[in-house]
Chains A and B, each alone.
Chain A
Amino acid sequence: MSFSIKKQGQVAVVDVEGQLIVGNRQELKQKVLDELEKGEKKFLIDFSQTGYIDSSGLGVLVSLSKKIREQGGELRLANLNDDLQTLFELTKLDTLFQISDTRERALESF
Chain B
Amino acid sequence: MAKPHVAFDLRIPSDVEYIEGVVELARQRCRELNLAPSTCSLNVPVALSEALSNAILRGNESVGGKHVRVRAIVTDAALVFEIVDEGPGFDLDRCTADCTTEENLLKEEGRGLFLMRRLVDEVESFQDEGNGIRLTVRRE
Name A residues whose Cβ lies closer than 8 Å to a Cβ of B.
Answer: 1, 19, 21-23, 51-56, 58-60, 62-63, 66, 82-83, 86-87, 90-93, 95-96
Contact = CB atoms under 8 A, between A and B. Distances in A.
B131 interface: no
B42 A19 contact: no
A79 B45 CA distance: 20
A90 to B, nearest CB: 5
Given A55-B111, A83-B38, A92-B100, A21 B49 contact: yes
26 contacts: A21-B20, A22-B49, A22-B57, A23-B19, A52-B42, A52-B46, A54-B46, A54-B115, A55-B110, A55-B111, A56-B112, A59-B107, A59-B108, A60-B108, A62-B106, A66-B106, A83-B38, A83-B41, A86-B38, A87-B42, A87-B46, A87-B115, A90-B119, A91-B111, A91-B115, A92-B105
Nearest to B99: A91
Contact of B108 (A1, A52, A62): A62
Contacts of A83: 38, 41-42
